[in-house]
Chains A and B, each alone.
Chain A
Amino acid sequence: DSGVTQTPKHLITATGQRVTLRCSPRSGDLSVYWYQQSLDQGLQFLIQYYNGEERAKGNILERFSAQQFPDLHSELNLSSLELGDSALYFCASSERGDDTQYFGPGTRLTVL
């Protein structure tokens, strides 16, 4: 158990819908990262937050957005969902934002 928690574990929704994935970092970690794991793209970095501020951006679609709240938990919002958004979404956290990342168990999103 890494100490990073993600909810929900599974999410099934329809095309065009909007969903919110939640992540709580390890105690003491200030930075949160979001990654997407799909069969065709592998593991790809989406976005990073550090102490509430966006720190780095990767291959994140404009339909996706994220934020980190004052209590350091983070939410990833996915809207206008398409079939191709079906994937495993991982959250990771680290203490300083440039150090070792610890991953949560992931949220499996299925878009029908």
Chain B
Amino acid sequence: GEDVEQSLFLSVREGDSSVINCTYTDSSSTYLYWYKQEPGAGLQLLTYIFSNMDMKQDQRLTVLLNKKDKHLSLRIADTQTGDSAIYFCAEAPTGRRALTFGSGTRLQVQP
């Protein structure tokens, strides 16, 4: 079966880098996604990575994918207070259209 796991909480200081980790079990996943949810808001697509890539960079965001270990990480450089939110990792296994989400990592940025 599929199961996406994330740590529940991460606290960093403003200006530091944040690294949010995710492990997944379905090796057939074609795309892996990161979504951000601010309090009282919907899910905002941050970035995604195709399974044949190791890394993707998009401004302050860097996604690393280790397919062998089924490990995905999201690095946020120069973390700001506005980055405080819950970050969800999600996988889309080949042949399935529904996203399977992790439980979310709450990022707290301290000034």
Contact = CB atoms under 8 A, between A and B. Distances in A.
Contacts of B33: 100
B97 interface: yes
Please report whether the interface of chain A is mostly helix, strand, loop or mixed according to DSSP: strand
B99 interface: yes
B45 interface: yes
Contact of B42 (A45, A55, A103): A103
Nearest to A99: B31
Given A42-B103, A100-B31, A103-B35, A90 B43 contact: yes
B8 to A, nearest CB: 11
A104 B42 contact: yes
A6 to B, nearest CB: 8
A92 B44 CA distance: 11
Interface residues on A, range: 20 to 34
Contact of B45 (A35, A45, A102): A102
A93 B31 CA distance: 16
A50 B103 CA distance: 27
A103 B98 contact: no
Interface in B25-45: 31, 33, 35, 41-45
Nearest to A106: B42
Contacts of A58: 98
Contacts of B45: 2, 100-103
B98 A48 contact: yes
23 contacts: A31-B97, A33-B99, A42-B101, A42-B102, A42-B104, A43-B88, A43-B99, A43-B104, A45-B99, A48-B98, A55-B97, A56-B98, A90-B42, A92-B43, A98-B97, A100-B31, A100-B33, A101-B45, A101-B99, A103-B35, A103-B42, A103-B43, A103-B45
Given A55-B97, A90-B43, 7 more contacts: A2-B44, A33-B98, A43-B104, A90-B42, A100-B33, A101-B99, A103-B45
Interface string A21-63: 0000000000101010000001101001000000110100000
Contacts of B101: 42-43
